[in-house]
Amino acid sequence: MPRTPYIAANWKMNKTIAEAAEFVDALLPRIAATQCDVVICPSYLALQEVVERRRGTAIRVAAQNMHEEDWGAFTGEVSAPMLGEIEVEAVVLGHSERRQFFNETDEALARKVPAALAAGLEPILCVGESEAARDGGETEEVLERQLQADLSGVEGADLSKVVIAYEPVWAIGTGRTATPEQAQEACAFIRDVVRMRGGAADELRILYGGSVKPANAAELLSKPDVDGALVGGAALDPGDFAGIVEAAG
């Protein structure tokens, strides 16, 4: 069975509720015919607005983070059941900005990924090497270390319920895109790691993220192990994002 392409818009800390509504209204007619999974990741405050606006459409909604506990004294945090209550379907975990600026650790991710699955949310787990690691020839070592740690609490049978985003840190928001060959090599390696862990690796969706734009999407997505894209900057404009969805088929 071919894997359904998966294109996700990570808005980061952008778009008010009104702007989010405007985006969805502009995007919907442009992607009406798509066969892809299209996922929008707004800020917490705009989640419910996007959930309501996309009702009856193919768009799915993801949060950009969550806490690993279901409830408790964790000021400022939001849990998986809270996201599920407002019909959010997925959650980005381990984005490099959260690892870098908010001290997101592999230990926390090892708890977050199973917590998301237990609440019925699809985790979009981000992994990727720094520029120094790539230059030092340590890309695979970093990816393997992150995957083994972050997925340590997930049974083999559940591994393919996780979407993995390969996001080289040096390509995020920098305008420097990995070459299609670099993206393919890393995504194929990720699939192998999941296969070795006993997951249904052929069903696993692996995304590339890092300065994806309408102009480079088709080439990146043509690679056999690149099943979709996690898009930051170019996902802020409905026309650009629709162009990437279109490139995915």
For the annotated catalytic residues, the residue numbers are 95, 167
Per rule CB under 6 A, is residue 94 in the interface with ligand PEP?
no
Per rule CB under 6 A, is residue 243 in the interface with ligand PEP?
no
Q: Which of 173, 224, 239, 249 binds ligand PEP (CB under 6 A)?
A: 173
Per rule CB under 6 A, is residue 233 in the interface with ligand PEP?
yes
By C-beta, is 82 or 218 nearer to ligand PEP?
A: 218
Smallest gap from Cβ 78 to ligand PEP, in A, equals 19
Per rule CB under 6 A, is residue 100 in the interface with ligand PEP?
no
Options 107-115, 154-162, 167-175, 178-186: segment touching ligand PEP (CB under 6 A): 167-175
Burial string for 57-82 (b: 16+ CB within 10 Å, else e) reads ebbbbbbbbbbbeeeeeeeeebbbeb
Per rule CB under 6 A, is residue 128 in the interface with ligand PEP?
no
Q: Which of 28, 66, 172, 248 binds ligand PEP (CB under 6 A)?
A: 172
Per rule CB under 6 A, is residue 232 in the interface with ligand PEP?
yes
Per rule CB under 6 A, is residue 90 in the interface with ligand PEP?
no
d(CA 207, CA 221): 9
Binding mask of the shown chain, residues 12 to 31, with x at each position contacting ligand PEP by CB under 6 A? x-------------------
Smallest gap from Cβ 96 to ligand PEP, in A, equals 8
Per rule CB under 6 A, is residue 167 in the interface with ligand PEP?
yes
**What is the DSSP track for the chain?**
-PPPPEEEEE--S---HHHHHHHHHHHHHHTTT--SEEEEE--HHHHHHHHHHTTTSSEEEEES--BSSSSSS-TT--BHHHHHHTT--EEEES-HHHHHHS---HHHHHHHHHHHHHTT-EEEEEE---HHHHHTT-HHHHHHHHHHHHTTTS-GGGGGGSEEEE--GGGTTSS-PPPHHHHHHHHHHHHHHHHHTT--TTT--EEEESS--HHHHHHHHTSTT--EEEESGGGSSHHHHHHHHHHH-
Options 28-36, 52-60, 216-224, 226-234: segment touching ligand PEP (CB under 6 A): 226-234
By C-beta, is 146 or 211 nearer to ligand PEP?
A: 211
By C-beta, is 58 or 236 nearer to ligand PEP?
A: 236
Amino acid occupying residue 74: F
Q: Are 226 and 2 in contact (CB under 8 A)?
A: no
Question: Which residue is closest to ligand PEP by CB?
Answer: 232
Q: Which residues bind ligand PEP (CB under 6 A)?
A: 10, 12, 167, 172-173, 209-212, 230-234
